[in-house]
Homo-oligomer: A and B are copies of this chain.
Amino acid sequence: MRVEIIAIGDELTSGRILNTTSGFAARQLFEAGYEIYAMHTIGDTPALIGEALKRAIERVDAVLVTGGLGMTDDDLTNEAVSMALNRPTMPNLEVLANIRRHLDSITSAPVGQLEKLAWLPEGAEVLNPGSRMAGYMLVHDGTPVYFLPGVPRQMKQLLVEHVLPSLATWGNDHKLSTYQRIFRIFNLPEAEVNRRINTLDLNKAAHIGYYPVFPEVHLSLTIRDREAENAEKLFTSCKKAIDTVLGDAIYGHDRDDMETIVGQLLHEHNLQLAVGESCTGGLIAQRITNVPGSSRYFLGGVVSYANSLKTAYLGVDQRLIDQHGAVSREVAEAMASGVLMKSGADIGLAVTGIAGPEGGTEEKPVGTVYVGIATPGGNWVSKFQFDGDRQQIREMTAQTALDLVRKYLLQS
């Protein structure tokens, strides 16, 4: 089943706002087994909106339109739909009632403007009638067309709660059972992932996709079959084969991320982590604390950007820095043990390196990074040489450091 996505708004075509909703929709739809034929981003121009809509209705099985449903003068989607599909707009009484109730509670609002939200093209079925900002569906020439607001939070909620369930019961394609999994892989190049998968000689019905997403590689396994039992059986055997050849290079699945997986492992082992960061400048701590509930296993740490802070906060001996340099195996280990001891954590993680663009030398070029792990059972330091710009080196360093903690926890 083929779907086309149309995003509307001058703020998107000016590049002022990055269109994230279309990508979100594409991913949700793709994971639910649909094919995305094309995605368009156009300005608030009725003629262009109408043309894009009509072409999409002709050539695909379902259309998703986002944006341009608001109350200001430059929100023109309903007007464009009305003209292009020859469906006069009419007030939706339920939405109108919600708006009027809302207006009663405030006095100074421009009534006419707000009521604009309730005037929808003929045939519109409102997806969320309890709301003032309506998403709706139209069936035109047998093709379902969904209209959602452009505000990311509203759009995402309506897509997941209304559009996907509605599409799932539409047409014939829902009789095809779809099984899909994304394997999230780190620290194995795409070519090597490819090589290992090719040794498996998987059944032709198993569709494999490769997607490098810096700094990771994602691999998708998709199986579709009219018989759910067949699909599930093949899916299970393929999944097992992939797990076998890729092993612990697979750090997670579907929407996992590294910081969530490391957090789960720390929580399961009932261990607490603290960090000492130099070149990443807080990026590791920031990623870990992005996860709600991370205070259960993360104490915090030190961003020792200046050498004086490595001494003052992490207890690194100044002579160690003088002798070996701040970017060295010895200092990485001292930072990790320093934060371990003073914080009272079970694991101390430290990174020191040269993120660039300046500060590199012949002996230690930009991208040289040491990662230290200190535990009551012993310390480890690993050296890396990363490529890329400042931001990429910092991201690779943070991801690699978290991955080392993950591997330590898997083995302990």
Query: Which residues of A come within 8 Å of B, CB atoms?
Result: 10-20, 22-31, 36-43, 48, 52, 153, 182, 209, 211, 213, 218, 220, 274-275, 277, 280-286, 288-290, 292-295, 298-306, 308-309, 312-313, 342-344, 356-358, 389-391, 394
Contacts and interface: CB of A to CB of B under 8 A. Distances in A.
A303 B304 CA distance: 11
A209 B10 contact: yes
B11 A211 contact: yes
Nearest to A31: B15
A361 to B, nearest CB: 16
A16 B213 contact: yes
Given A312-B342, A313-B313, A41 B42 contact: no
B43 A36 contact: yes
A294 B306 CA distance: 10
A211 B22 contact: no
B26 A290 contact: no
Nearest to A18: B23
B358 A292 contact: yes
Given A20-B18, A299-B309, A38 B48 contact: yes
Given A38-B48, A43-B36, A282 B299 contact: no
B289 A299 contact: no
Nearest to A313: B313
Given A16-B211, A17-B213, A285 B303 contact: yes
